[in-house]
Amino acid sequence: MPETREITTASGLAVPPCAAPRPVDPAALGRPGDYPFTRGVYPTMYRGRLWTKRQDAGFGDAEESNRRYRYLLEQGQTGLSVAFDLPTQIGYDSDHAMAQGEVGRVGVAIDSLEDMARLLDGLPLDRVSISMTINATAATLLALTVAVAEARGIATSALSGTLQNDILKEYAARGTYIYPPGPSMRLCTDVIAWCSEHAPRWNPISISGYHMREAGCTAVQEVAFTLADGIAYVDAALGRGLPVDSFAPRLSFFFNAQMDVLEEVAKYRAARRMWARIMRDRFGAKDPRSMMLRFHVQTAGSALTAQQVDNNVVRVALQALAAVLGGCQSLHTNAKDEALALPTEESVRVALRTQQIIAHESGVALSADPLAGSFYVEELTDRIEAEAEALVARIDSLGGAVDAIAHGVVQREIQESAYRTQREIEAHERLVVGVNAYQAEEEPPSDILRIDPALERRQIERVRDVRARRDGPAAAAALSALEKAAADPAANLMPFVLDAVRALATVGEIADALRRVFGEYTAPSPF
Amino acid sequence: MSAISRPIRVLIAKPGLDGHDRGALVVARALRDAGMEVIYTGLRQSPAQIAQAAVQEDVDVVGLSSLSGAHRTLFPAVVEALRAAGAPEVLVIGGGVIPAEDIPALRSAGIAAVFTPGTPTAEIVAFLSGEVGAKR
């Protein structure tokens, strides 16, 4: 590295050759477990309880995914995380024309209560927490979980888990929206309100920066856009008349872990401090739990390379280390082969073992916030906080996250950052081992996971069979009651969705009932 | 002569339900910076919609992106749809999370090239300039 060139972090923050000593402001740091939670949300952090090892999984049909969950629990995983296929996420049944080729691909295909019962078969729903990557159809998937538990005699109040239910970032980055932002925010808030009353151990939303970071934004943008979305959800719930401390303790967050280890640690610390201030000063929260930013981390899929895939094991270990040094509450480590396909059982095991090695061998989990007081980490924490605060203020001035996204401002920022990164890689200003440096001739790996092409056909037969067998008039009545309720903005839709799934109405039919009232969203062209 | 001086026109499309558009948008931008005319369809396009847009926009190239694993169904379906729409001459390329062992089947289904993660955008520019130039 030439000593004269300006060196920056992965996100473009200037890096001093050697950080200058700086005074520690005790009020800005606090102790772990105390406001502003810079050093972590619990007093003893991982001594009290290690983070939850939660590998996201789901592919093919319900039986196949259920087998993978049982395998992961046997291997020492401590929480489940369900990935759904795109038709389930976007509210199309498996036999819809738009579902062609997508059934069971990026997650498990769920069409009806019968699929959900197979998916959760034999899993201890009252003891293992379940996280679900589901957004536009989150209410339906929560209702399906509640209905399966009910049938097994498990009370809704005993269920613990997390629903992603963060629709705003779908418009900004991930793309699985269905309805326009207004009605989508209403659905999301219905879930938050319903959970605060019926499912007190359930996190009704996981406010996610992960996907915006994957789409190319910087660490500062990840913090700012995520907290701006959080502010929009709190505003929406307050607008519904919910007292802030009745729901805010259950808000949870989801961040990325990219390659710049110390920048990532600083990012988590800055985000915790900012959220604590926002909740206390902006929203007047009194309960300290409302001010705690509890978060899940997934290592960066976009940092994995298709070249020399074994190197990805090292990348994931570094990213996971950053997440633990940064005080995450749960962690998903990617498998080395995910730049090629869904991971195999073997590669997922190595990813899980990576977490276990960090937890039990590395020593980094023994003392809370071990990097606190490092001149460099504290400087980065302050800088990320200052820049992210300025960006949140800019989003506020545009009318908040909903308006900023509606005008494409957030999307443009993300795309600019993504393009800058690509140019830096092509100009060799940013080296990626195996991609633009240290390349090697290699044979492509052949042991990748394959989805049986017959699965789509089987799933189509299954959903048609359910529609033929069920009590048709009962399903139709539940769907029309849901449609009627959707037209009344004062109604909470959760009870109606629950009735519909109990009557074996399908995920696609429920989405269609809401499409008839809410309409569908079309993204403005980015060009 | 005028046909040669016309900039290469490219339709970048996201077939199916996949919402990951980072790659599609970066490639679109790089092709535009290289002097090509680029149209982006946005998300969730059916093969028929993509073919229709390609014909309406009179493009030389259709670039498809999918990260969901649906490429084996959807990429060949776009080639078929272009034939059905009377535009078999349009060059079709693809990219995304695509295992190497799927590439021969895509090639024989009429996908001229598949660019996987890590490909420099300059390589795609060079490929398109060569192929479209040769066709003209």
DSSP A7-41: PB-TTS-B--SSPPP----HHHH--TTSTT-TT-S
User: Do A342 and B69 lie within an 8 Å CB cutoff?
Assistant: yes
User: Do A340 and B19 lie within an 8 Å CB cutoff?
Assistant: no
pLDDT for A446 beyond 90: no
What is the tens place of the pLDDT at every residue in A118-157? 999 999 998 999 999 999 999 999 999 999 999 999 999 9
Tell me if B77 is assigned to some domain: yes
* B48 shares contact with chain A (CB less than 8 Å): no
pLDDT of residue B2: 47
Under DSSP, the state recorded for A308 is: S
* Interface residue of A59, A102, A134 to substitute, partner B, most B CBs within 10 Å: A102
From the list A9, A82, A30, A54, the residue with the least C-alpha distance to A328 is A54
Residues B113-136 have a mean pLDDT of 93
pLDDT for A35 beyond 90: yes
Q: Which residues pair with A130 in a beta bridge?
A: A80, A161
User: Do B20 and A90 lie within an 8 Å CB cutoff?
Assistant: no
Would you give the distance in Å from CA B30 to the centre of its chain?
14
Residues 319-348 of A with CB under 8 A from B: 339-342
User: Do A214 and B100 lie within an 8 Å CB cutoff?
Assistant: no
What is the tens place of the pLDDT at every residue in A265-308? 999 999 999 999 999 999 999 999 999 999 999 999 999 999 99
Structure tokens at A353: 């073992």
pLDDT of residue A448: 76
pLDDT of residue A4: 57
Confidence of residue A444 (pLDDT cuts 50, 70, 90): confident
> How many Å lie between the alpha carbon of A79 and the closest alpha carbon of chain B?
25
User: Do A446 and B101 lie within an 8 Å CB cutoff?
Assistant: yes
| Count of domains forming chain B | 1
How many angstroms separate the CA atoms of A493 and A165, rounded? 14
User: Do A435 and B42 lie within an 8 Å CB cutoff?
Assistant: no
Higher pLDDT, B101 or A377: A377
Closest Cβ opposite residue B22 in set A105, A216, A434: A216
Q: What percent of chain A has pLDDT above 90?
A: 86
Tell me if B58 is assigned to some domain: yes
pLDDT of residue A23: 87
Residues A13-19 have a mean pLDDT of 93
Least CA distance to A432: which residue of chain B?
B118
How many angstroms separate the CA atoms of B36 and B8, rounded? 5
pLDDT for B133 beyond 90: no
How many angstroms separate the CA atoms of A104 and A85, rounded? 5
Q: What is the mean pLDDT of chain B?
A: 93
* 8 A C-beta contact, residue A60 and residue A393: no
Tell me if B135 is assigned to some domain: no
How many angstroms separate the CA atoms of A106 and A342, rounded? 7
Residues A235-242 have a mean pLDDT of 96
pLDDT of residue A284: 98
pLDDT of residue A265: 98
Lowest mean pLDDT, pick from A55-59, A192-196, A440-444: A55-59
Q: B60: domain range?
A: 2-120
Tell me if B134 is assigned to some domain: no
* CB-CB neighbors (< 8 A) of B68 in chain A: 86, 102, 105-106
> How many Å lie between the alpha carbon of A162 and the closest alpha carbon of chain B?
22
* 8 A C-beta contact, residue A188 and residue A165: yes
| Count of domains forming chain A | 1
Tell me if A452 is assigned to some domain: no
Residues B63-88 have a mean pLDDT of 95
What is the tens place of the pLDDT at every residue in A186-221? 999 999 999 999 999 999 999 999 999 999 999 999
pLDDT of residue A3: 56
DSSP A472-491: HHHHHHHHHHHHHHHT-TTS
Tell me if A478 is assigned to some domain: no
Closest Cβ opposite residue A86 in set B17, B97, B99: B17
From the list B113, B21, B54, B31, the residue with the least C-alpha distance to A175 is B21
Q: A222: domain range?
A: 50-426
How many angstroms separate the CA atoms of A131 and A294, rounded? 14
Tell me if A82 is assigned to some domain: yes
* B40 shares contact with chain A (CB less than 8 Å): yes
Tell me if A136 is assigned to some domain: yes
Task: Give the CATH number for residue B93.
Answer: 3.40.50.280
Higher pLDDT, A343 or A41: A41
pLDDT of residue A5: 67
Task: Give the CATH number for residue A287.
Answer: 3.20.20.240
Tell me if B37 is assigned to some domain: yes
DSSP A226-252: HHHHHHHHHHHHHHTT--HHHHGGGEE
Residues A71-84 have a mean pLDDT of 88
pLDDT for B97 beyond 60: yes
What is the tens place of the pLDDT at every residue in A353-363? 999 999 999 99
Tell me if B125 is assigned to some domain: no
Closest Cβ opposite residue B69 in set A89, A341, A415: A341
* CB-CB neighbors (< 8 A) of A98 in chain B: 16-17, 44, 46
* Interface residue of A100, A103, A256, A452 to substitute, partner B, most B CBs within 10 Å: A100
Tell me if B29 is assigned to some domain: yes
What is the tens place of the pLDDT at every residue in A466-507? 999 999 999 999 999 999 999 999 999 999 999 999 999 999
* A302 shares contact with chain B (CB less than 8 Å): yes
* 8 A C-beta contact, residue A412 and residue A173: no
Tell me if A524 is assigned to some domain: no
Least CA distance to B101: which residue of chain A?
A446
pLDDT for A390 beyond 50: yes
pLDDT of residue A122: 93
Angle between helix A62-74 and helix A345-360 axes, rounded to 10 deg:
30
* CB-CB neighbors (< 8 A) of A419 in chain B: 25-26, 29-30
Tell me if B136 is assigned to some domain: no
Whole-angstrom Cα Rg for chain A: 23
Q: What is the mean pLDDT of chain A?
A: 94
ipTM for this model: 0.92
Tell me if A456 is assigned to some domain: no
Confidence of residue B1 (pLDDT cuts 50, 70, 90): very low
Please name the helix (run of DSSP H) or strand (run of DSSP E) that holds residue A255, with its range, or none.
strand A251-257
